Structure 1
Amino acid sequence: MDRIPSVILGLCSYTHDSAAALLVDGELIGFVEEERLSQRKHTKDYPRLAVEWLLGEAGLTAGDVEAVAYNFQPARYLLESPAALRLALSAITRDRALARARGFAKVALRTQQRVRTLGQLFPSARVVSVPHHRAHQLAAFAASGWNEAAVLVVDSLGERQTTTIAHGHDTLRPRTRIVEAVHDPASLGYVYGAVTEHLGWRRGDEEGTVMALAALGDPKRFRHLFARAVRTTPTGFSVDPAYFPPRTLNSGYPRTSRRFISETCPQRHPDEPLADVHRDLAAALQERTDQVMLHLARRARTLTGSRRLCVGGGVATNCVSIGRIIEAGVFDQVFVPPAPGDAGTAIGAAVAVHCDSGSRRLVAGVARSCYLGPSFQDQDLDLTAWPRLRQKTMGIEPAEFLADQLADGMIVGLFRGRVEAGPRALGNRSILASPLEPGVVERLNATVKYREPFRPFAPMVLAERAEEFFTLGQEAPYMSMASGVTAAAREKVPAIVHANGTSRLQTVTKSQNPFMHAVLTAFARRTGVPVLINTSLNIKGKPICGTPAMALDCLAESGLDALLLEGRWITK
């Protein structure tokens, strides 16, 4: 009988958003995305730095790892190769049939080689390939802390699956059972990525920009096109290959068809000015995404009977669609984990291997945890490499001091505690500003973040006062949900209200982040408003700053006024 592993390393590697998680006796020691340490955004490299930190944190070596949980299962890709040949029966898809069959077979072999490589890196461990959507499901459900919930995963592709509805049970030994699945080429994530690329932004990175742009357009122009291109069905949805040809997993095959281009617009170059047609295309795409996601949520409610929903996968980062599901009242509560994308599957894969092993140890440290990466609190500060930067004394308690500076109109970077999991800064690697400051959004976009002027900024708010400004009706601890706003928000803090009348808020409790709760409380005493603008500590094109050096670079290279780095006040 195989020995039950007590040290399990979960990995997302070799595709994009590389990350690692470590379970020891069922307890999550930590999780971090490689980009936060390597400074390479969306890196697909083996997460060497992340693994080194995790093992060091636990006082272990590579030889102590007993199981490696990988977030893809190679054999599942092979199943698509014979199925792809059916595309030859249609004139619309015939030219992609053979390429698709070859592409999926090639990726299956490549994934198997990656599994072998991991075995060489950890010769004392067994490598377990976990189905991609199962890893997503367990990452979302285990993080919820609920004993039972429907679990909806929507992404671009997980081996063959693009959408799964599962039923999750048991907080301490999480398990999920798939009740329905949608397979490629029906992929909502693929469609959103294809249109993102068509509009001149990077697929797999800048879908959020398209989501923001959508608020400025009119969906009516292309509403009927997307209704034809992405049709809802009794068991999910389908994608019309006349608009979005099936993927081949080979380069050189466009993701949109000539018909799509002729009925919309030519592909936009990144430097080309935005026109109404681009805004309208984004608006119609977002509207259809909202409709399909709500349809899938209702399907999950019907199939599972649950009153709670967990959502994972790349499309779960679409906060507008998540907000629409909450507003519809299909579920009593909706939960999105802090890392719903592929990086978070490192946690889900590790949980899967632990639960399958028969271990009597309960899963701990996953539920409602988001500050899971490295901390640098005891590190000495050397500013030699940044001659323009100076350390100054604060004189009073840091939270009170920071609230003073923000109330005076400063834009401040904040670096403290452990690195957040997921794509959102949650108060440990943040840029903070007062929403009361005139022109603050324009200044942030133009001189600090260096990004498109239409991009909105998210608010963070004291959880106990959220209902004064937002209509969401539930907590949103991970900045993953768009909420309607109240009249008070429109009057007092219009800077945090996007063109579509929503805000992607983060609610902050004292138990979740005591320091940020103290800052918000102090800011409210000075201004009467318990709301701050919170955006990630980085500039466009770079990952969120995971190390002090990255944070100091950000201060030196951007329009930030100052940086509060582990209790030290750094200015230029």
Structure 2
Amino acid sequence: MLLKDGRVCVGIEKERLTRRKHDGGNDSAAITYCLDAEGIGIGDLTLVVQCANFDIPDRARFAGARLFAGSIHPPIVTISHHLAHAWSAAGTSPFDTCGILILDGCGSPLGQCTDLDGVTLPAGLDAPDAAMWCEKDSFYRFDGRHMTTLAKDFSPLARQDLAAPMRMRTTRHSIGGFYSAVSHYVFGNLDDVGKLMGLAPYGRPGMVPHRAFDMRDGRIFVADGWQAAFDRPASDYPAFRADFQYYADIARWAQGEVETAVAALFRARLAQHPSPQLCYAGGVALNAVANARLLDEGIVGDLYMEPAAGDNGLALGCAYHGWIEVLGRDKVPHDGSTCFGRHYETDAIAAALTGAPSDWSIERLDTAVLIDRAAALLAQGSTLAWFRDGSEFGPRALGRRSILAHPGTPGIGDHINANIKFREDFRPFAPAVLPEHAASCFVSGRNSPYMILIDRTRPEMAEVLRNVTHVDGTARVQTVDRSWNPDFAALIDAFYAATGLPVLLNTSLNRRGMPMVERPDEAVALFAETALDALVLQDVLITKRR
């Protein structure tokens, strides 16, 4: 992540470059991408801020040689995990001052926290191993220039009983750790913890008679005793499918327990530290159902959820900490965009299409014509890959690296899951809607530009929005912001003109197990190997001749 004059100019997640999901460790590839996009070198940087759990990266090596090896410039500052999350929210939020709640699975160990000045630590941190107890939730106040820690809670690392079917894989008492443990039990992997939220509506209420969390003195603890009831972990996808209802029931239970725990923690922190304007980050903040409950129940008022709420957002927070806190500069208002990727020029598009099959139609078009042609294809029931401008930073495709379709065409959602995404059939799709039409399609109609809030589809719209409405009548809505997503908004406008429906089905441009597409050649390869009908590659429209 690179800031220039207080504004994000470019940012990328390493997995998009290496094509390995959740790729971590050495940061050289991501740094090189950012420097190359701006046409600068290491010597042009004023400051580097870094963050990593348990290990403080050496300037010369971190899982391999780093770009900073052999030089004392630029200076490197290290901050801890939750503090970086907090700065990511403070820097991108629309608020001048705010409270910030961080909630995740595992932050920095106590012994490496850099944000403890003035904070009263919870009882119990006198254990012999307390230096390795890790952050699980933190609450901050940002006054426009400085970050103040108001409350922090810690948890010991979970004891790893490798024979236990259900085991906490991070800290003993974190909400995020609980959700990850259940997800691993249900799916047999941690590739996409968010799948549990999509599975939960298929479950039956009351099938798991256990309480997962206790609230004591304003602190959340994972309860004891429930783990013994879980003795049938899914070994693979066929095992999961063979006992689908059992795992769906567990997902529903876990989702409900998390929602209750999140709501309780918000109430406790806001009772101690009232904050009319509140930011929220950390991996748990990606739970769109729990987020909606906070608003629906009036637990929070003015809430900003950082779009890259997971650990990808740490780089964003490090950059803002460096600009505002270390360099002492003023916060520069952020335009709300999450699209920090580099732009690919005509030569990169042409190179990606070299050797294209003879049965592809390839046309370079003016933007207005391109959008009208794309909208017409979508109106006719085609599936369309949409690759325009710089990619999104964070886990959601918001109209730069998207697969799009008509939300009302019968069977098209199942077709995308089976023949394009190659993923589980219970996974839902998001509706992308223009803000002025949100209330006519969804019950609350609230602003949701980052696809991390659910709404309910209006009953009268259920049929025409069948592919973007989940089995329980909910939808993870994206309200498309024209100011930073003008071409995507224009496409929905054109689709609305053609169909009378101001909504598109939107899902990420990738297939199961693959990071979101970053480069033109990756988009072309995905188009070739799947059942996609058309691809918009910047100003080029590619279709497969039938």
- Match for residue 221 of structure 1? 207
Superposed CA deviations along residues 422-459 of structure 1, whole A, max 9, x for unmatched, are 00001011011001211111111111111111111000
Match of 1:325, SS state, is helix
- Match for residue 38 of structure 1? 18
The match for 1:513 among 466, 485, 489 is 485
Q: Answer yes or no: is the 8 Å Cα contact 1:147–1:169 preserved in 2.
A: yes
Match of 1:342, SS state, is coil
- Match for residue 301 of structure 2? 332
Return the letter of the residue paired with 2:280: V
- 1:142 positional shift: 1.7
Report the Cα distance in structure 1 between the residues aligned to 2:215 and 2:433, rounded to whole angstroms. Answer: 37
Q: Answer yes or no: is the 8 Å Cα contact 1:135–1:352 preserved in 2.
A: yes
- Confirm whether residue 398 of structure 1 aligns to residue 364 of structure 2: no
Q: Answer yes or no: is the 8 Å Cα contact 1:236–1:295 preserved in 2.
A: no
Alignment of 1:303-342 (within 5 A): 303-342=272-311
- Match for residue 338 of structure 2? 370
- Confirm whether residue 556 of structure 1 aligns to residue 525 of structure 2: no
Alpha-carbon spacing, 1:424–1:65, altered in 2? closer, same or farther (3 Å): same
Match of 2:194, SS state, is helix
Alignment of 1:348-427 (within 5 A): 348-359=317-328, 361-364=329-332, 366=334, 368-380=336-348, 381-382=350-351, 383-387=353-357, 389-392=360-363, 397-427=369-399
- 1:115 positional shift: 10
- 1:417 positional shift: 0.7
The match for 1:547 among 488, 512, 519 is 519
- Match for residue 143 of structure 2? 169
Q: Answer yes or no: is the 8 Å Cα contact 2:103–2:285 preserved in 1.
A: yes
Q: Answer yes or no: is the 8 Å Cα contact 2:26–2:63 preserved in 1.
A: no
Alignment of 1:12-27 (within 5 A): 21-27=1-7
Report the Cα distance in structure 1 between the residues aligned to 2:216 and 2:61, rounded to whole angstroms. Answer: 37
Q: Answer yes or no: is the 8 Å Cα contact 1:301–1:307 preserved in 2.
A: no
Match of 1:397, SS state, is helix
The match for 1:148 among 97, 122, 125 is 97
- 1:37 positional shift: 2.4
- Match for residue 161 of structure 2? none
Superposed CA deviations along residues 386-413 of structure 1, whole A, max 9, x for unmatched, are 4364413558612211111100111000
Superposed CA deviations along residues 27-78 of structure 1, whole A, max 9, x for unmatched, are 322211122222222111423332122212333211233322111365xxxx
Q: 155-164 or 347-356, which moves further after superposition?
A: 347-356
Superposed CA deviations along residues 301-359 of structure 1, whole A, max 9, x for unmatched, are 22331223221111111111111112112222322222111111101012112223243
Report the Cα distance in structure 2 between the residues aligned to 1:397 and 1:122, rounded to whole angstroms. Answer: 51
**How many equivalent pairs are there?**
497
Q: Answer yes or no: is the 8 Å Cα contact 2:215–2:221 preserved in 1.
A: yes
Alpha-carbon spacing, 1:501–1:201, altered in 2? closer, same or farther (3 Å): farther
- Confirm whether residue 440 of structure 1 aligns to residue 423 of structure 2: no
Superposed CA deviations along residues 477-528 of structure 1, whole A, max 9, x for unmatched, are 1111111222233243122111122111100132131111111111111211
Q: 122-131 or 386-395, which moves further after superposition?
A: 386-395
The match for 2:106 among 133, 147, 157 is 157
- Match for residue 82 of structure 2? 133
Report the Cα distance in structure 1 between the residues aligned to 2:140 and 2:274, rounded to whole angstroms. Answer: 11
- Match for residue 240 of structure 1? 223
Match of 2:462, SS state, is helix
Alpha-carbon spacing, 1:191–1:278, altered in 2? closer, same or farther (3 Å): same
Q: Answer yes or no: is the 8 Å Cα contact 2:61–2:69 preserved in 1.
A: no
Q: Answer yes or no: is the 8 Å Cα contact 1:163–1:183 preserved in 2.
A: no
- Match for residue 464 of structure 1? 436
Report the Cα distance in structure 2 between the residues aligned to 1:156 and 1:231, rounded to whole angstroms. Answer: 17
Q: 34-43 or 335-344, which moves further after superposition?
A: 34-43
Greater share of residues in helix: 1
Report the Cα distance in structure 2 between the residues aligned to 1:515 and 1:116, rounded to whole angstroms. Answer: 40
The match for 2:500 among 513, 528, 532 is 528
Report the Cα distance in structure 2 between the residues aligned to 1:441 and 1:463, rounded to whole angstroms. Answer: 23
Match of 2:476, SS state, is strand
Match of 2:403, SS state, is strand
Residue segments in structure 2 that go unaligned for 5+ positions in a row: 109-133, 157-171
Q: Answer yes or no: is the 8 Å Cα contact 1:449–1:539 preserved in 2.
A: yes
Return the letter of the residue paired with 1:362: D
Q: Answer yes or no: is the 8 Å Cα contact 1:333–1:474 preserved in 2.
A: no
Report the Cα distance in structure 2 between the residues aligned to 1:108 and 1:353, rounded to whole angstroms. Answer: 17
Q: Answer yes or no: is the 8 Å Cα contact 2:341–2:390 preserved in 1.
A: yes
Q: Answer yes or no: is the 8 Å Cα contact 1:175–1:355 preserved in 2.
A: no
Return the letter of the residue paired with 2:330: L
- Match for residue 450 of structure 2? 478
Q: Answer yes or no: is the 8 Å Cα contact 1:449–1:538 preserved in 2.
A: yes
Q: Answer yes or no: is the 8 Å Cα contact 1:182–1:236 preserved in 2.
A: no
Report the Cα distance in structure 1 between the residues aligned to 2:100 and 2:499, rounded to whole angstroms. Answer: 41
- Confirm whether residue 200 of structure 1 aligns to residue 187 of structure 2: yes
- 1:121 positional shift: 6.5
Alpha-carbon spacing, 1:115–1:310, altered in 2? closer, same or farther (3 Å): farther
- Match for residue 35 of structure 2? 55
- 1:372 positional shift: 0.8
Alpha-carbon spacing, 1:116–1:32, altered in 2? closer, same or farther (3 Å): closer
- 1:242 positional shift: 4.8
Q: Answer yes or no: is the 8 Å Cα contact 2:60–2:69 preserved in 1.
A: no
Q: Answer yes or no: is the 8 Å Cα contact 2:94–2:333 preserved in 1.
A: no
Superposed CA deviations along residues 58-105 of structure 1, whole A, max 9, x for unmatched, are 33211233322111365xxxxxxxxxxxxxxxxxxxxxxxxxxxxxxx
Report the Cα distance in structure 2 between the residues aligned to 1:56 and 1:394, rounded to whole angstroms. Answer: 28
Aligned-residue RMSD, C-alpha: 2.4
Report the Cα distance in structure 1 between the residues aligned to 2:395 and 2:497, rounded to whole angstroms. Answer: 30
Alpha-carbon spacing, 1:167–1:181, altered in 2? closer, same or farther (3 Å): farther
- 1:215 positional shift: 0.6
Q: Answer yes or no: is the 8 Å Cα contact 1:115–1:129 preserved in 2.
A: no
Q: Answer yes or no: is the 8 Å Cα contact 1:33–1:50 preserved in 2.
A: yes
Q: 33-42 or 285-294, which moves further after superposition?
A: 33-42
Superposed CA deviations along residues 140-192 of structure 1, whole A, max 9, x for unmatched, are 2221121122212111111110111222332xx46353334343421111111
- Match for residue 114 of structure 2? none
Alpha-carbon spacing, 1:296–1:386, altered in 2? closer, same or farther (3 Å): farther
- Match for residue 44 of structure 2? 64
- 1:268 positional shift: 4.1
Alpha-carbon spacing, 1:277–1:115, altered in 2? closer, same or farther (3 Å): closer
Return the letter of the residue paired with 1:295: A
Return the letter of the residue paired with 2:137: T
Report the Cα distance in structure 1 between the residues aligned to 2:8 and 2:203, rounded to whole angstroms. Answer: 44
Alpha-carbon spacing, 1:473–1:180, altered in 2? closer, same or farther (3 Å): farther
Identity %: 31
Q: Answer yes or no: is the 8 Å Cα contact 1:70–1:115 preserved in 2.
A: no
Alignment of 1:98-109 (within 5 A): none
Q: Answer yes or no: is the 8 Å Cα contact 1:425–1:537 preserved in 2.
A: yes
TM-score normalised by structure 1 residue count: 0.82
Match of 1:432, SS state, is strand
- Match for residue 12 of structure 1? none
